[in-house]
Chains A and B, each alone.
Chain A
Amino acid sequence: MLGFNLKQLTGVGIFLFMIFIGVPFAIGVTGRWDFYFTLTSVALLAIASAGVWLTFYIGRINIGQGAFALIGAYVSAILVVKVGWSFWISLPAAGLFAAVVAILIGLPILRLRGVYFAMITLVLTQVVTLTALALPITNGARGISNIPLPSGISLFGIPILPDFVAMESTKLAFYYTACIIMLLTYAALYRLVNSRLGHLCRSMQQNEELASSIGVNISYIRIVIFAISSFFGGLGGAMFGSIAQSVYPSSFQVADSVNFMLNCFLGGLGYVFGPMLGTLVLYFGWDLLFEFGKYQMLIYSTILIIIIRFLPNGLLSIRFSKGGDK
């Protein structure tokens, strides 16, 4: 069916069951309601990380996802608060705006490679943060707060999405929303990687000149990929702003950009679902270690160093270490 084997389908089935029924059940039993916020954050950060992973796929190190997440968060916040749009329309708008910005910036900077691209994207994060501080529409350092919760949508009188304000537990609603968007993102990513475009990306990852010489339009593809990547970044950022109900220039900083990149490394650059796992381990792990107080950072970084020391190709490489190339 659709080219998937039974094992893959079972895996996806178990995964879906886990996140939609297993997790709420477990939280209901243990009473750790704070995990909803953590897991929602994981899902949203995983969306942005998926974008970073995609730029890795064409052989570029992207440390600029924080910039696009911040752009997305601001666009959505401004559209909802100042223009009065519904959040659900502002969400794709935020993604599209981030993508347009990515195209404009990408045209010159995508010519760079290797560490040059990595460092210029790092600088880009800083530029966007400083711009948010300087522009009048973003309210400077005060940011935009009191963003209303997403309102409901109904088409021809039939409610499609419920109104978040009227809900008792917005946590659960946000959790489901974030999970659904994450699933859509990764489904799109999986489809993309296994399409013709994905093959072209792999050829670029190995050798751009060679790819170009056999007729791959590399400048077109890298712009498209960078735009898609930033779309995910904007989407994740916008959703994040809506959950936190506020956006500040410090919402996404250089450290966040670096974390997005680390998520991809940790999960494994060779695996589509790598960034999802990486985000879960990094973010959730950080939260779990909270009980260690001032030793939190020490333990966290030690574990991180040990993982990369012994599994330099990412966590998912354990499963595939005995033969099999993908």
Chain B
Amino acid sequence: MEQILANGVYLGSQYAMIALGLTLIFALMNVLNFAHGQMYVIGGFVTYTFYGHWGVPFILALVMSCVTLAILGALIERYLFAPVIKGSAREESTMLLAAGIAFFLDAVILLVFGEKQRGVPKIVDGVFNWDFRLIMPYDRILICVLAILSIVAFIALMQYTKTGRALRALAQDRTAAQLMGVNVDRYSMIGFALGAMLAGLVGGLLVTITGVNLGMGGATSIKAFMMVMIGGAGVISGAIWGGIILGFMEAIGLALLYQYGDITYLVIFVSLMIFLAVRPQGLMGKPWG
């Protein structure tokens, strides 16, 4: 039981970070970022290149992942999403753009990094063992702590800084924020960069444990969508709850139904659909977001 709970916290903290970036981008621009999983994979590959390949210290490699993704996110917002949102008759057209970008990033990853599974050396050795009731490698614990710290830092940023206030205003009401003197274009770009950066950060963190490969992008996007739905689209606290809930569901489901394999996911998906049928806006979302 302790093991299941620990796995749940571990999975949940990572998932929450992925969902945070997605929900931030959605809240700011009403864009469903299909490329989120691919951004996560790129973050993983950047850390792999710097840390695993060139031997740069891990923390520095993580920073490089963040910087790369932030720049990438800013460029994508500035030159692709912003003009398309202005020019299209229906907002949903951005989904085609997002999917196009997902394909594009997949192609770039394939050409630059190849399709092999990549892993990096462990950052810390050893396994935490509490009486065989709870077994957890130290690197997982470290990653989990780092993930939770990043989430706390992100929330602090959103709550207590000027940028965070501007982003929250933007998420609440774009027009009103503009009337209050928020530079909408600039903060949209910052927000998108921040969302992409979070994806890169998780990718960089997780490459030390699961490794990284090309095919992870799509599956990660779907999971991120689910977490966002559980919590409610465009709500920061909702994304964190969604991540934690999905993490625990997976940990518990895999522990109980491990001999049936894919049934776990079927159960999770079906219960999600039932949940959404009862409560369409998720746990804490605004109705009809």
Residues of A within 8 A of B (CB): 56, 61, 108-109, 111-116, 118-120, 122-124, 126-127, 130-131, 133-134, 254-255, 258, 261-262, 265-266, 269-270, 294-295, 297-298, 300-302, 304-305, 308-309, 312-314
Contacts and interface: CB of A to CB of B under 8 A. Distances in A.
A309 B80 contact: yes
Given A118-B32, A123-B273, A305-B97, A111 B262 contact: no
B97 A308 contact: yes
B95 A261 contact: yes
Contact of A312 (B26, B84, B99): B84
Contact of B226 (A119, A131, A313): A119
A162 B103 CA distance: 42
Contacts of B218: 254-255
Nearest to A117: B280
A134 B257 CA distance: 13
B101 interface: yes
A313 B89 contact: yes
B96 A269 contact: no
Interface stretch (B13-21, B120-128, B173-181, B263-271): B263-271
A298 B101 CA distance: 10
B178 to A, nearest CB: 22
Nearest to B80: A309
Contact of A301 (B93, B95, B104): B104
B285 to A, nearest CB: 8
B92 A127 contact: no
A118 B276 CA distance: 12
A57 B282 CA distance: 25
B233 A115 contact: yes
Nearest to B32: A115
B269 A262 contact: no
Given A127-B269, A130-B269, A254-B222, A109 B276 contact: yes
A73 to B, nearest CB: 19
B100 interface: yes
B10 interface: no
Contacts of B70: none
Contacts of B93: 265, 269, 308, 312-314
A122 B222 CA distance: 8
Contact of A305 (B80, B89, B270, B273): B80
A118 B288 CA distance: 12
B277 interface: yes
Binding site of B, secondary structure by majority: helix, strand, loop or mixed? Answer: helix
A131 B263 CA distance: 8
A313 B111 contact: no
Interface string B32-43: 101000000000
B100 A305 contact: yes
Given A309-B80, A312-B87, A312-B89, 15 more contacts: A109-B277, A114-B288, A118-B95, A119-B233, A123-B222, A123-B226, A123-B273, A127-B273, A134-B263, A261-B95, A262-B96, A297-B106, A298-B108, A304-B104, A313-B93
B93 to A, nearest CB: 5
Nearest to A121: B273
Interface string B105-125: 011101100000000000000
14 contacts: A111-B277, A116-B276, A116-B280, A119-B32, A123-B273, A126-B222, A127-B270, A130-B265, A130-B266, A258-B34, A269-B93, A298-B107, A304-B104, A313-B87
A109 B107 contact: no
Contact of A122 (B90, B225, B282): B225
A118 B26 CA distance: 13
A269 B89 CA distance: 9
A301 B288 contact: no
B96 A112 contact: no
Nearest to B270: A127
A301 B281 contact: no
A255 B217 CA distance: 12
Contacts of B89: 269-270, 312-313
A297 B110 contact: yes
Contact of B289 (A56, A115, A254, A262): A115
A248 B84 CA distance: 37
B245 interface: no
A118 B31 CA distance: 12
A223 to B, nearest CB: 14
A254 to B, nearest CB: 6
Contact of A265 (B95, B225, B263, B276): B95
A302 B281 CA distance: 35
B228 interface: yes
A195 B17 CA distance: 48
A115 B108 CA distance: 28
A261 B99 CA distance: 10
A301 B233 CA distance: 27
B83 A114 contact: no
B232 to A, nearest CB: 9
Contacts of A308: 84, 93, 96-97, 100
Interface string B212-253: 000000100010011011000100000000000000000000
